[in-house]
Structure 1
Amino acid sequence: MISRLFLFIFVFVGCSENYQRQKIYHNAVVWTGESNNPRATAIVVQDQFIIFVGNDEDAFLLADENAIKIDLKGNFVTPGLIDNHVHFMSGGLQLSRIDLSRVKSKVEFQDLIAKADMELKDGVWMQGGNWDHELWGGTYPDRSWIDEVVDDRPILLDRLDGHMALANSFALSIAGITNETQDPIGGIIKRDIYGSATGILKDKAIDLCSVHIPDISAKELDDALQKATDHALSLGITQVHDMGSWSNLETYKRNYDNGNLRIRIKIYPWYENWKNLISFMQRNGSGDDWLRWDGIKGMMDGSLGSRTAWMHEPYLPYKEISPTVGIITLDDTTKFKYLLRETDKKNIQHAVHAIGDKANDWILNEYIKIKNDHGNIDRRSRVEHSQHLSASAILKFSKNGIIPSMQPYHLYDDGSWAHKRIKYDLLSRTYVFKSLIESGANLTFGSDWTVAPLDPLKGMYAAITRRTRDGKNPQGWFPKQKISIDEALRCYTINNAFAAFWENTTGTIKSGKYADFVVFSMNLIDISADELLNAKVLRTVLAGKDHIF
């Protein structure tokens, strides 16, 4: 074995035109993610690649005499963490916008808006938000919450799930939204008992306002990308799967071409760009190990918090809210079926948002029909969120090679109020992590940032404890669905790499793969769940480059 390793190192170094000194990371507790070599104490890196994983003695024996020796002082190492579902550019922009995610009253809401108004130039739209009405009792805000403190600039503030927003009167006027404006297909303009628009816009209705917001400059987008990247690296994230726009793809490609892309990104552009994507791939291929674009993002429905997730049965009644089973956000299901089949012919991966049980059933069945129509090839079709599943849906994932792309931190939020939306039977089939793993599905995890925090440790905590933010489920919300920390790590590493077709080069710590790994201050396997939230990222290594925190 040692002779083969020497041969690998000799061939690799001998063929390298830009030889860099090897680095030996030693005195570590390494969780590799590899079943045939699960633990190690040392990693040897040459340029961007891992060339040895094993014990310290062999590492020092095999490495060059002038190798850089990095003592990790007994700290815990995992593969680079991967987030399966982010809105990366939105996150980078949000870091510089108003944040209402912790607001618990109208007074706090208005105070922060007034402060943000003072920092903005005249005439500029105020954006951001991330508010959650469940934090102040569940009553929707209305436009007066903004108008009472700021009435001379347009303001559009998203709910944390991105499926509902609050506009002030100025923004509604710019959008031409009046009491007579009809709900768009796939959207809802909320009205009071007199039929007046309250300022609450759901799903496609948000576009009526957002389309009037001026485009962001290329420099602002580039700056936002760098801010988002810095934030991700500080949390041990080396790869993200971005549910983005065509503009986002252009931003990533521009930074890639300029040598400024510092994190691995697989982008799934919005499905309405499918023809553009096919043409783009004909000219540029599908990308490489830094940036890939061979996927599209679709959306079946809204969200549970906004009562727009598409369900088989009506939502539970609540105050003045009309009975509903949610909405399907597609303008035309026939056209959507067509584009799914046309992109499948071009080997474009599908990632479709589905939260309600009916939405999940619809897209699962459609994926199965495509497999039957076009043949059983390696598609790795994804269902983004896979949140509320019918009894028959769970086994369809593993049986048909469909990937459940889930975000466990949502459980921490939703579990405190979901009982006000849906019946117990469906609640029991919500965030069914354990059932999906036991069925053989390739369960993947992420954040849905900015809807939830980007920090993977918070996601792991939610998955292994299933505790909720109201403190009412100390043993876990539907505790039979709790998973182990080892399973959670796999969902944030190799399972995610597989979901992006990057499992051969990323996702585990293995000789020949990219040197993407993270050093933590605590051993995530051995510590308690409560201690998990106190663990810190000390070092993130991406393509052999160290980022120290």
Structure 2
Amino acid sequence: MSARSAFLAAGVAIAAAAILLLPPASRLSRNLGEVVADMILANATIYTADPSRPFAEAMAVRAGRVLRVGGYDSVKELKGRHTLELNLSGNVVLPGFIDSHVHFIDGGLQLARVPLRGVRSKGDFINRVKEAVRDKHYWQWVFGGGWNNDAWGGDYPTAAWLDDISPDNPVWLSRMDGHMGIANSLAMRMAGIDKNTINPVGGTIIKTTEGEPTGLLVDAAMKLVFDVIPEVSIHERRDALLRASRHALMRGVTTVVDVGSYFPGMSEKQVWQDFTDVYEWAHSVDKMIMRVCLFFPMPTWSRVSDLIHERGRMLSQWIHLGGVKTFLDGSLGSSSALFYEHYTDDPRSYGLQLVDMDDLLNTTLELDKSGLQVAIHAIGDKANDMLLDMYDKVVDFNGMKDHRFRIEHAQHLAPGAAQRFGKHGIIASVQPDHILDDAGSAGKKIGIERADRSSYSFRSLLDGGAHLAFGSDWPVSDINPLQAIQTAVSRKPVGWEVPWIPAECLSLDDSLKAHTISAAYACFLDHVLGSISEGKYADFVILPCTSWDEFASDIPSQVLATYVNGKQAYP
């Protein structure tokens, strides 16, 4: 951090402390009948994400909401005797980022487990697990995640990598995409997995040519191990929420869309326990420090509908009930995303279809009638076309209305598919930072020509009328909106000199909107979030850049400060 940034950060912290010590200016002025701001940001470069006023130099905050935004002469009219004014000396201010797709509590848990993201060799992989085993008691589980076999040449890990270093500890390590994991031999024995175990519906037990399980489990097959893993305690999951919230705020994220930890074939119980025992607990003890929009497993949609009917969508300013989510296919890296053509590196595989389409259509028709928002995971080109066809049928049956159907990932699209999103204003909930992993590996999985014509078609989606909503899929990728925006603009993974599929690059403005106002629209929260507009929650971030030109030419990797409800939440 530069000396100026450090100085400004200290000033921001002092200002935050001063706000806490002072009674709200609005309360002090109530008897006088005047409206006075609690805080004013002055001499700032404010990007509002509001088309009626894209930029401003000052903002007034009162009672956690934006009171006025515009020129300083207008905003200073709201300054009272006890209003705190913060001079930002030109620093860029953005709306608080919204991450449109996270597995939030799982991400918080992963922060305390074996970190395998960034591992680039078999030796490093084994050493990290070995260090973790050293700290465990006899028979205690070892968990980790984030590994990417493409980072060390493509070979998948096997149980043999782990058995010598963990003879007395069961091990489960999730791949970065969450659709595959590796178990050691002890964990497989506990789960009853051997050469005679058949593949469950919607999953694969990867075996050697002799029929022996390798330890790799894909999608629904992971449940075989999950069923013998002791439940994570409520205390651990509560700690994970707080840990995840602090991590997100450090990255400038003030709202997340939590799609939970449910996968097809697995129990829906955990998602509902997280709602009642973690989120509602945190709210009851005033430990919610950022906003969440919750999506629940589609099989439990009637329970979601009943809950909304009883309590409304906005349980509080912190917790919003979004809708329901399910999966149509798997992931590219695990060879379970559903394609029209076979995988180049596995000619026998076209991917996995995880749901029956007639059942999915009938369920979607019912929950759409009930007013629930639908979010469905689709990565392969065939899966996306099947989903677009189904949404067409839902509109034909139920009529045109504000559905805001979501497709989570929309990663690989057949020719013409991007233009179909605009027909019904479908939300493309996409993850730019997946480009950093897939740009170098997609060609190996599906061939360079297919990868280059179909992958991460952000520009085509936007031009076709889709609403783009950016997310991270954390903990699959790290939660870091500034990096995601940089990726969407440049499409250059580390070490690349030219963009991957340059025609699909986005402008800075389009990318910012996808992480702010468009992301708010994607979860029906654009009336209170997503832009720095009068009446909306005062959620915003301050960047270390001192001008818009500086920001546009060199997007920083970190925010300087994060505010929620007009109060400093980070650092």
Scaled to the shorter chain, the TM-score interval is over 0.9
Q: Which residue of 1 aligns with 2:568?
A: 546
Q: Which residue of 2 aligns with 1:479?
A: 502
**1:16/1:426 CA distance change after superposition, 3 Å:** farther
Report how far residue 273 of structure 1 moved. 2.2
Q: 1:164 aligns with which of 169, 180, 191?
A: 180
* Partner SS, residue 391 of structure 2: helix
Q: Which residue of 1 aligns with 2:532?
A: 509
| Counterpart AA for 2:274 | N
Greater displacement, 452-461 / 60-69: 60-69
Contact residue 69 and residue 533 of structure 2 kept, 8 A: yes
Report how far residue 272 of structure 1 moved. 2.5
Contact residue 406 and residue 444 of structure 1 kept, 8 A: yes
Deviations 1:60-114 (A, max 9, x none): 2222232011122221000011101001001110110001111112211111111
Distance 2:406 2:37 in 1: 40
Report how far residue 25 of structure 1 moved. 1.1
Q: Which residue of 1 aligns with 2:62?
A: 46
Contact residue 128 and residue 156 of structure 1 kept, 8 A: yes
Q: 1:26 aligns with which of 30, 33, 42?
A: 42
Greater displacement, 288-297 / 261-270: 288-297
* Partner SS, residue 443 of structure 1: strand
Q: 1:81 aligns with which of 97, 106, 109?
A: 97
| Counterpart AA for 2:487 | A
* Partner SS, residue 549 of structure 2: coil
Distance 1:185 1:121 in 2: 35
Q: Which residue of 2 aligns with 1:309?
A: 337
- 2:321 is the counterpart of 1:260: no
| Counterpart AA for 2:523 | A
Q: 2:454 aligns with which of 422, 429, 454?
A: 429
Contact residue 419 and residue 463 of structure 2 kept, 8 A: no
Contact residue 428 and residue 469 of structure 2 kept, 8 A: yes
| Counterpart AA for 2:518 | N
Q: Which residue of 2 aligns with 1:246?
A: 272
Report how far residue 528 of structure 1 moved. 7.1
Report how far residue 119 of structure 1 moved. 2.3
Contact residue 522 and residue 535 of structure 1 kept, 8 A: no
Distance 2:32 2:536 in 1: 16
Distance 2:186 2:370 in 1: 45
Report how far residue 531 of structure 1 moved. 3.0
Q: Which runs of 5+ in 1 are unaligned?
A: 1-8
Q: Which residue of 2 aligns with 1:349?
A: 373
* Partner SS, residue 294 of structure 1: strand
- 2:364 is the counterpart of 1:336: no
* Partner SS, residue 127 of structure 1: strand
| Counterpart AA for 1:543 | N
| Counterpart AA for 1:216 | V
Distance 2:313 2:467 in 1: 23
**1:181/1:530 CA distance change after superposition, 3 Å:** farther
Report how far residue 524 of structure 1 moved. 7.9
Contact residue 238 and residue 542 of structure 1 kept, 8 A: yes
Q: Which residue of 2 aligns with 1:70?
A: 86
Q: Which residue of 2 aligns with 1:406?
A: 430
Q: Which residue of 1 aligns with 2:481?
A: 456
Q: Which residue of 2 aligns with 1:237?
A: 253
- 2:236 is the counterpart of 1:212: no
Distance 1:111 1:430 in 2: 34
Distance 1:54 1:354 in 2: 42
Contact residue 246 and residue 270 of structure 1 kept, 8 A: no
Distance 1:412 1:15 in 2: 56
- 2:516 is the counterpart of 1:500: no
The two structures have a TM-score, normalised by structure 1, of 0.93
- 2:144 is the counterpart of 1:116: no
Report how far residue 57 of structure 1 moved. 2.6
Q: 1:126 aligns with which of 126, 130, 142?
A: 142
| Counterpart AA for 2:223 | D
Report how far residue 544 of structure 1 moved. 1.6
* Partner SS, residue 24 of structure 1: strand
Distance 1:258 1:20 in 2: 30
Report how far residue 276 of structure 1 moved. 2.5
RMSD over aligned CA atoms reads 2.2
**1:512/1:326 CA distance change after superposition, 3 Å:** same
Deviations 1:23-52 (A, max 9, x none): 011121101111221111111101111101
Distance 2:89 2:138 in 1: 53
Q: Which residue of 1 aligns with 2:8?
A: none
Deviations 1:128-172 (A, max 9, x none): 221110011001110011102111111110000001100011111
Counterparts in 2 of 1:513-528, with a 5 A limit?
513-522=536-545, 525-527=548-550
Q: Which runs of 5+ in 2 are unaligned?
A: 1-24, 261-270
Contact residue 482 and residue 558 of structure 2 kept, 8 A: no
Distance 1:211 1:507 in 2: 40
The two structures have a TM-score, normalised by structure 2, of 0.89
**1:425/1:102 CA distance change after superposition, 3 Å:** closer
- 2:350 is the counterpart of 1:325: yes
Distance 1:361 1:396 in 2: 9
Contact residue 408 and residue 429 of structure 2 kept, 8 A: yes
Contact residue 443 and residue 451 of structure 2 kept, 8 A: no
Contact residue 100 and residue 471 of structure 2 kept, 8 A: yes
* Partner SS, residue 454 of structure 2: coil
- 2:52 is the counterpart of 1:36: yes
Distance 1:71 1:336 in 2: 54
| Counterpart AA for 2:516 | T
Q: Which residue of 2 aligns with 1:57?
A: 73
Deviations 1:365-410 (A, max 9, x none): 1111111101111110100000001112111111111110000011
Distance 2:113 2:55 in 1: 43
| Counterpart AA for 2:469 | T
Report how far residue 535 of structure 1 moved. 4.2
Deviations 1:317-367 (A, max 9, x none): x3xx4521011122x333322222221121111111000001101111111
Contact residue 100 and residue 129 of structure 1 kept, 8 A: yes
Q: 1:467 aligns with which of 479, 482, 492?
A: 492
Contact residue 47 and residue 95 of structure 2 kept, 8 A: yes
- Percent sequence identity is 36
Distance 1:100 1:186 in 2: 26
Contact residue 172 and residue 184 of structure 2 kept, 8 A: yes
**1:468/1:186 CA distance change after superposition, 3 Å:** same
Q: Which residue of 1 aligns with 2:396?
A: 372
| Counterpart AA for 1:249 | F
**1:47/1:20 CA distance change after superposition, 3 Å:** farther
| Counterpart AA for 2:561 | R
Contact residue 425 and residue 465 of structure 2 kept, 8 A: no
Counterparts in 2 of 1:84-95, with a 5 A limit?
84-95=100-111
- 2:170 is the counterpart of 1:154: yes
Contact residue 91 and residue 547 of structure 2 kept, 8 A: no
Distance 2:547 2:118 in 1: 28
| Counterpart AA for 2:380 | G
Q: Which residue of 2 aligns with 1:4?
A: none
Distance 2:140 2:32 in 1: 51
**1:170/1:70 CA distance change after superposition, 3 Å:** same
| Counterpart AA for 1:299 | F
Report how far residue 525 of structure 1 moved. 4.4
Contact residue 308 and residue 326 of structure 1 kept, 8 A: yes
Distance 2:304 2:169 in 1: 36
**1:44/1:90 CA distance change after superposition, 3 Å:** same
Contact residue 133 and residue 140 of structure 1 kept, 8 A: yes
Corresponding residue pairs, total: 533
Distance 2:118 2:201 in 1: 32
